[in-house]
Chain A
Amino acid sequence: MEPQLSWYLALSAVLFTIGVTGVIIKRNVIAMFMCIELMLNAVNLTFVAFASFFQDVVGQLFVFIVMTVAAAEAAVGLGIIIAIFRNRESLDVDDASILKL
């Protein structure tokens, strides 16, 4: 017996939900950022599983592009985090609830 497609999809759903839960309950903005990365990876697993089971390369191209977007998000997001920390001296998201530095 080999791992089935539904197993990978279920694993991806579990990882995605853990990421969503982390975004909801975390207060540290860097921890929320890492939970978003976790959600992106869960979706990547879905793409690769479908690409493998359908024998289609497009899914893996999507994963490639998602990784690039995640890298861009990391650069800009961490820049924003540093800017917020300079102004607020805090990383709590509740301290940065107004969109004004």
Chain B
Amino acid sequence: MLVLLFILFGGLAIGCALAVVAQRNPLYSAISLVGVFISLACLYVMLAAPFIAAVQVIVYAGAIMVLVVFVIMLLNVEEEERGRRRLKFLVPMAVAMAAILIAEVAFILVTVQEFRVNPPAGVGLTHSIGTSLFTRYLLPFEITSILLLMAIVGAMTLARRGGLLSTSARVIPGVTTLPRSLVDPRATPDDLRPVEADSTDEAARLLGVTGLRDHSDRDE
């Protein structure tokens, strides 16, 4: 019975994994990847690890894949174009990978000894995992939380639009402060409206002055 379940879920995992690689539309790949996660969760239940199975479904199939699908839909990803292969050595490399895989599986099946010690004794339950996580392995747990905090800050920094300055800020690169009355003698003293430019030269052109770059170089 367990053998049949192993074949069912193992085959499902391998089939979905192949679909992840074979699909050209990333959204279909994502759905296939959810299938891999679900069948792996079933295998975890067979291995007497119900907590890991639940976390697999909640975190992987729930949180991470929802994030990936959000990004796919946000970016409006087009399908990969067929026949645009630029790397010629990919096919031999795939053959080499298949050879490595076959050697790996043969090695495992030949050398790994079969043993089954005693029936499951509550190793995978939430109680035993929580006990060891908060006593003996507390330091890795805390390091993991710091890692998550760093990931949150990093993702926010990366994903915000326009860098660290807001898009409404008026900045002239290379010049710290540049009141218009200082550089343009024709401007009225109360006209202190800043200009928006992407470079020092562009700012000089907008302000109608020359020698602005020399000015800023001397200041630095």
Q: Would you call A94 and B150 a contact (CB within 8 A)?
A: no
Asked whether B59 is an interface residue with its Cβ less than 8 Å from the other chain, the reply is yes
Q: Given A31-B26, A70-B64, does the pair A60, B159 have CB atoms closer than 8 Å?
A: no
Q: Would you call B20 and A74 a contact (CB within 8 A)?
A: no
Q: Which of B13, B117, B129 contacts A60 (CB 8 A)?
A: B129
Q: Which of B72-88 contact A (CB under 8 A)?
A: 72, 74-75, 77, 80, 84, 86
Asked whether A96 is an interface residue with its Cβ less than 8 Å from the other chain, the reply is no
**Interface of chain B, main secondary structure:** helix
A-contact bits for B85-110, CB 8 A (1 contact / 0 none): 01000100110011011001100110
Q: Would you call B2 and A65 a contact (CB within 8 A)?
A: no
Nearest B residue (CB) for A5 = B112
Query: Contacts of B59 on A, CB cut-off 8 Å?
Result: 67, 71
Nearest A residue (CB) for B18 = A18
Nearest A residue (CB) for B58 = A67
Residue total for B at the interface (Cβ-Cβ under 8 A): 82
Q: Would you call B6 and A3 a contact (CB within 8 A)?
A: yes
Q: Which of B102-126 contact A (CB under 8 A)?
A: 104-105, 108-109, 112, 114-118, 120-121, 123-124
Query: Contacts of B100 on A, CB cut-off 8 Å?
Result: 17
- A: residues with CB less than 8 A from B are 1-11, 13-15, 17-22, 24-28, 30-31, 33-35, 37-38, 41, 44-45, 48-49, 51-58, 60-61, 63-65, 67-76, 78-83, 85-86, 91, 94
- B: residues with CB less than 8 A from A are 2-3, 6, 10, 13-14, 17-18, 20-21, 26, 29-30, 33, 36-37, 40, 43-44, 46-49, 51-52, 55-56, 59-60, 63-64, 67-68, 71-72, 74-75, 77, 80, 84, 86, 90, 93-94, 97-98, 100-101, 104-105, 108-109, 112, 114-118, 120-121, 123-124, 128-129, 132-133, 137, 140-141, 144, 147-148, 150-152, 154-159, 161
